[in-house]
Amino acid sequence: MTTETQAEKKKVIFSGMQPSGNITLGNYLGALKNWTKLKDEYNCLFCIVDLHALTVRQDPTELRKRSRQLLMQYIAAGLDPEKNIIYYQSHVSAHAELAWILNCYTYMGELNRMTQFKEKSQRHSENINAGLFTYPVLMAADILLYQTDLVPVGNDQSQHLELTRDVANRFNNLYGQTFTVPEGYFPKVGARIMSLQEPTKKMSKSDENPNAYIALLDPPDVIVRKLKRAVTDSEGKIAYNDNQPGIKNLINIYCSITEESIESTVERFSGLGYGDFKMKVAEVVVEELRPLQEKFRELEKDKKYIDSIIKNNAEKASYIAAKTLRKVKRKVGLPNTI
Ligand code: ATP
Ligand code: LTN
């Protein structure tokens, strides 16, 4: 078999992140770290979902800057822009086009049940726009355009993925096999890293309080400070249970970095005070992020290289996406282009 046909035979992975803030340790442990493990075995597309970020008001200059930073962080974390397709969603117009068509195959009732919509419309009550409501349909379009087999995400996205599968099946039942029905891929530990300030809420890059999250580009002293301030409890004992969500979260962070089991970590640190345990966590976080931060600083200097990645990869993605979109348009009865 030639290398070409082997590459074609590989399964497809698609995932994405919004450039809606500085990406956090939660995004990294719940998603990005997993992507780097899968990147060689699959044909991978890693998207900067900038159209999704518009569902919340963004400062235009900041959005453009953060999108580029996110792309560089993907690469700095170990994704390979020569082998993996790393690109901006807005550079491939098929995403928005397919999303429109799929809107017509998704029910209001389905979208009404989405917990992310409920949560975000509470948080942004001054701007509950239609994009926020149909957000999962655009996500379905992202995934289905590339005949994706596997979607590595944190488990806050499992409901959106179920919806994607439902829409794909519905369309396939109506028109015959058109879309691959994707599976989710969730890490065992780290699928939901919680806020350092309110450990019952997920760590979120758009949190107003920067002490609630660790950004991937936070310098070591900031990481140490944020972890020292992490909210714990008055039990005073290192244990893994829901009554101690702060400590549970710190254990999850520690274990998903070291890949040590939860049991042995709890046993090893059981004699430590919270302050000392926080320092152990800080040590592994700083060491994990150090190489990424160094690589990021190098990439920042190489504007030409990053520009060429952006251009080439958008072309590659557009080529694949156009095939699915053509098929969909034909099936639903839109006229051929002449
Ligand atoms: P926002 O706060 O703007 O809604 P977010 O921090 O939730 O953003 P996304 O861009 O929506 O981040 O998500 C990117 C990826 O990170 C998704 O796969 C998501 O499941 C994962 N993820 C987000 N937050 C966490 C978390 N706290 N723990 C683990 N994984 C997470
Ligand atoms: N909705 C996701 C981001 C996202 C995504 C995708 C993830 C948009 N499109 C396609 C995986 C596949 C989020 O909020 N984390």
C-beta separation of 31 from 184 below 8 A? no
Whether the pLDDT of residue 4 is over 90: the answer is no
The pLDDT score that the predictor gives to residue 35 is 95
**Candidates 11, 65, 83, 120; catalytic one:** 120
User: Is residue 19 within 6 Å of ligand 1 at its C-beta?
Assistant: no
Whether the pLDDT of residue 337 is over 90: the answer is no
The pLDDT score that the predictor gives to residue 255 is 96
Neighbours of 287 (CB within 10 A): 12
C-beta separation of 214 from 253 below 8 A? no
User: Is residue 19 within 6 Å of ligand 2 at its C-beta?
Assistant: no
Rounded mean pLDDT, 75-91: 97
- DSSP assignment of 321-335, as one string? HHHHHHHHHHHHTPP
Select from 148, 90, 81, 76 the least CA-distant residue to 312: 81
Ligand whose nearest atom lies closest to the CA of 141: 2
**pLDDT tens readout for residues 305-321:** 999 999 999 999 999 99
Query: pLDDT confidence of 7, banded at 50, 70, 90?
Result: low
The pLDDT score that the predictor gives to residue 80 is 96
The pLDDT score that the predictor gives to residue 166 is 98
Q: Which of 18, 120, 144, 150 to mutate to test the pocket of ligand 2 (most atoms within 8 A of CB)?
A: 18
Q: What percent of the chain has pLDDT over 90?
A: 91
If you take atom 5 of ligand 2, which residue's CA is the nearest one?
16
Examine the residue annotation and report whether 120 is marked as an active-site residue of this protein.
yes
- DSSP assignment of 228-274, as one string? HT----SS-S---STT-HHHHHHHHHHHHHH---HHHHHHHHTTS-H
The pLDDT score that the predictor gives to residue 23 is 93
The pLDDT score that the predictor gives to residue 123 is 87
The pLDDT score that the predictor gives to residue 188 is 83
Q: What angle do CA 301, 302, 305 make, to 5 degrees?
A: 165
Q: What is the maximum span of the chain, computed from C-alpha positions, in angstroms? A: 74
Q: What angle do CA 105, 138, 165 make, to 5 degrees?
A: 55
The pLDDT score that the predictor gives to residue 191 is 78
Pick the CATH number of 3-186+303-332 from 3.40.50.620, 3.90.1150.10, 3.10.129.10, 3.10.20.30: 3.40.50.620
User: Is residue 160 within 6 Å of ligand 2 at its C-beta?
Assistant: yes
Distance 26 CA to ligand 1 centre (A): 7
- Numbered ranges of CATH 1.10.240.10 in the chain: 210-298
Average pLDDT, the chain: 95
Query: pLDDT confidence of 290, banded at 50, 70, 90?
Result: very high
CA dihedral 45, 48, 49, 55 (to 10 degrees): 170
Identify which has the larger pLDDT, 90 or 8.
90
Q: Which atom of ligand 1 is nearest to the CA of 17?
A: 10
Rounded mean pLDDT, 119-130: 92
Examine the residue annotation and report whether 316 is marked as an active-site residue of this protein.
no
**pLDDT tens readout for residues 202-256:** 999 889 999 999 999 999 999 999 999 999 999 999 999 999 999 999 999 999 9
Whether the pLDDT of residue 3 is over 70: the answer is no
DSSP 181: -
Rounded mean pLDDT, 24-42: 94
**Candidates 205, 226, 248, 278; catalytic one:** 205
The pLDDT score that the predictor gives to residue 190 is 75
Instruction: Give me the sheet containing 85-88, strands edge to edge.
Output: 85-88, 43-48, 12-17, 150-152, 183-185
Examine the residue annotation and report whether 304 is marked as an active-site residue of this protein.
no
Rounded mean pLDDT, 259-274: 95
**Tokens 């009550």 sit at which residue?**
125
User: Is residue 204 within 6 Å of ligand 1 at its C-beta?
Assistant: yes
User: Is residue 90 within 6 Å of ligand 2 at its C-beta?
Assistant: no
- Numbered ranges of CATH 3.40.50.620 in the chain: 3-186+303-332
The pLDDT score that the predictor gives to residue 101 is 98
If you take atom 1 of ligand 2, which residue's CA is the nearest one?
139
Whether the pLDDT of residue 8 is over 90: the answer is no
Strands 43-48 and 150-152: unpaired
The pLDDT score that the predictor gives to residue 206 is 83
C-beta separation of 226 from 211 below 8 A? yes
**pLDDT tens readout for residues 140-192:** 999 999 999 999 998 899 999 999 999 999 999 999 999 999 999 988 887 79
Dist CA 185 CA 96 (whole Å): 25
Question: Which range (31-45, 97-111, 170-184, 279-293) has the least confidence?
Answer: 31-45
Ligand whose nearest atom lies closest to the CA of 203: 1
Residue type at position 50? D
CATH architecture for the domain at 210-298:
Orthogonal Bundle (1.10)
User: Is residue 202 within 6 Å of ligand 2 at its C-beta?
Assistant: no
The secondary structure of the chain in percent helix, strand, coil, rounded to multiples of 5, reads 60, 10, 35
If you take atom 25 of ligand 1, which residue's CA is the nearest one?
26
**Tokens 């995400």 sit at which residue?**
153
Query: pLDDT confidence of 61, banded at 50, 70, 90?
Result: very high
